[in-house]
């Protein structure tokens, strides 16, 4: 009798343990070896998108503990799109976007805003307005959104996907109603709404030269010539190993945009393979990540490289391309894939940045202006420094963050109490 009770107790316990294992996050996800992606180099920001509701996913703990140390830039997959933020005219829903912004601030992430004028995920109410009403609605949307997050968003995708593959303007409701002027009007409004944000044009299939990339190049060249405020170009980089990519052509293409004085952002990288991939496919995918990122690291105009999600568990790909999947750098169980290590190795090819500690405006000396810049940063008035490697140059004790200790150290330096910064001797 007693033996029977013990046996049923152990069966019940085993059932409970199995249930617990089933419902909790997978405990066996491997932590990647080597440095986290954002720490491999300091020249470009490394980003990912977060889906709406990222903090309430059934596996949020695993999601966040994997992502948080890897990246330093985040984009909203959907919650900063027009239909999410302004579903009916002038009624804004900030809930999800606020959550993302607050999370980013708490975790020292920069934010990439996505997106204003786009033909997709735009609510019905805006699509049938007259040209003047549409322009006012556009101005209002840009003012309200950029106003709410003023100084907190590093870069905004102001216009998204305005060209067809043949290089003609996309026949969107924007274009049909306002002509191509909606694009430059959006940039002008965005600059006025938050002068500290970088403003970029973002599109897919721009990676290689051809009619679409030429159209974007010509538009941006014209904007530059006429003083329309644009700071950069976003290459979305949604790739598939079924299609070959000429990496030298990609490098040449980046160079011509860089020659216009534009910054370059890889905004949504993923590389599709099959739903049930062989190891050869995983290796081929890794080679795409490696080659693209190596070219980016060799191009000084590249400021950020972002993936469109990091785990295959949450990716837009399988819903859109039946039979294609597994496009990201971690698998569904949060294990790093060959693509992760290819990304990591390619980032390491970055030339070592020159850092002049304390010279936050690259003026050639450490002075009162640098002191006031660090103060502005601590007050939250600015989110980075003018010098190319300003964030590292401001971390005077090499603690990994720029904080009040660095401010105190800079004061001691200016008063002549110390003649070297602690970071220089580490």
Active-site residue set: 161, 268
Nearest residue (CB) to ligand G3I, 309 versus 338: 309
Nearest residue (CB) to ligand G3I, 189 versus 238: 238
What is the C-alpha separation between 87 and 125, in angstroms, rounded? 8
Nearest residue (CB) to ligand G3I, 306 versus 344: 306
What is the C-alpha separation between 159 and 162, in angstroms, rounded? 7
Region of 120 please: left (phi>0), alpha (psi -120 to 50) or beta: beta
Nearest-approach distance from CB 268 to ligand G3I, in angstroms: 5
What is the C-alpha separation between 290 and 22, in angstroms, rounded? 35
Whether 97 and 84 have beta carbons less than 8 Å apart is answered as yes
What is the C-alpha separation between 5 and 343, in angstroms, rounded? 55
Best CA proximity match to 374, nearest among 365, 366, 385: 385
| Helices and strands, counts by H and E, the chain | 18, 10
Nearest-approach distance from CB 336 to ligand G3I, in angstroms: 22
Determine which helix (DSSP H) or strand (DSSP E) holds 153, and give its type and residue range: none
Beta bridge partners of 305: 46, 266
Nearest residue (CB) to ligand G3I, 18 versus 121: 121
SS (H, E, C) 216-239: HHHHHHHHHHHCCCCCEEEECCEE
Nearest-approach distance from CB 358 to ligand G3I, in angstroms: 40
Whether 45 and 112 have beta carbons less than 8 Å apart is answered as no
Residue nearest to ligand G3I (CB): 316
Nearest residue (CB) to ligand G3I, 59 versus 77: 77
What is the C-alpha separation between 41 and 36, in angstroms, rounded? 10
What is the C-alpha separation between 75 and 94, in angstroms, rounded? 15
Whether 126 and 140 have beta carbons less than 8 Å apart is answered as no
Nearest-approach distance from CB 161 to ligand G3I, in angstroms: 7
What is the C-alpha separation between 331 and 342, in angstroms, rounded? 14
Which residues make up the interface to ligand G3I (CB under 6 A)? 77-78, 120-121, 236, 268, 316
Nearest residue (CB) to ligand G3I, 118 versus 217: 118
Determine which helix (DSSP H) or strand (DSSP E) holds 215, and give its type and residue range: helix 211-226
Nearest-approach distance from CB 319 to ligand G3I, in angstroms: 7
Nearest-approach distance from CB 200 to ligand G3I, in angstroms: 13
Best CA proximity match to 307, nearest among 37, 29, 31: 37
Nearest-approach distance from CB 255 to ligand G3I, in angstroms: 24
Nearest residue (CB) to ligand G3I, 79 versus 142: 79
Nearest-approach distance from CB 132 to ligand G3I, in angstroms: 28
247-259 and 211-226 helices cross at what angle (nearest 10)? 10
Nearest residue (CB) to ligand G3I, 83 versus 361: 83
């Amino acid at each position: 009798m007693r033996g029977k009770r013990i046996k049923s107790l152990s069966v019940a316990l085993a059932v409970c343990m199995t249930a617990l294992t089933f419902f909790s996050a997978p405990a066996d996800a491997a932590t990647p070896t080597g440095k986290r992606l954002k720490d491999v180099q300091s020249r470009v920001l490394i980003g990912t998108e977060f889906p709406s509701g990222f903090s309430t996913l059934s596996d949020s703990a695993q999601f966040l503990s994997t992502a948080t140390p890897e990246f330093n830039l985040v984009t909203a997959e959907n919650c900063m799109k027009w239909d999410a933020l302004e579903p009916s005219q002038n009624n804004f829903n900030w809930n999800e976007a606020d959550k993302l912004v607050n999370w980013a601030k708490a975790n020292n992430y920069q934010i990439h805003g996505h997106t204003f004028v786009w033909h997709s995920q735009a609510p019905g109410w805006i699509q049938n307005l007259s040209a003047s009403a549409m322009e006012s609605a556009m101005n209002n949307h840009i003012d309200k959104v950029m106003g709410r997050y003023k100084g907190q968003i590093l870069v905004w995708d102001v216009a998204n996907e305005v060209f067809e593959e043949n290089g003609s303007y996309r026949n969107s409701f924007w274009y049909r109603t306002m002509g191509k002027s909606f694009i430059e009007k959006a940039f002008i409004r965005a600059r006025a709404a938050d002068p500290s944000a970088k403003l970029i044009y973002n599109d897919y299939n721009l990676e290689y030269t051809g009619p679409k990339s030429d159209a974007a190049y010509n538009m941006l060249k014209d904007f530059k010539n006429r003083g329309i405020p644009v700071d950069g170009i976003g290459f979305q980089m949604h790739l598939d190993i079924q299609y070959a990519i000429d990496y030298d052509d990609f490098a040449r293409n980046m160079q011509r945009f860089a020659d216009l004085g534009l910054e370059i952002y890889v905004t949504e990288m993923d590389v599709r393979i099959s739903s049930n991939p062989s190891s050869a496919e995983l290796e081929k995918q890794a080679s795409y990540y490696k080659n693209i990122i190596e070219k980016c690291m060799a191009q000084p105009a590249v400021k950020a490289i972002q993936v469109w999600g990091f785990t295959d568990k949450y990716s837009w790909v399988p819903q859109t391309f039946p039979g294609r999947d597994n496009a990201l750098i971690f698998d569904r169980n949060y294990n790093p894939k060959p693509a992760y290590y290819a990304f990591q190795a390619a980032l390491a090819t970055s030339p070592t940045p020159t850092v002049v500690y304390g010279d936050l405006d690259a003026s050639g000396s450490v002075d009162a202006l640098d002191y006031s810049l660090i103060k502005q940063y601590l007050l939250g008035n600015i989110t980075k420094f003018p010098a190319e490697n300003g964030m590292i140059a401001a971390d005077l004790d090499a603690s990994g963050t720029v904080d009040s200790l660095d401010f105190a150290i800079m004061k001691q330096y200016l008063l002549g109490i110390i003649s070297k910064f602690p970071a220089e001797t580490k």
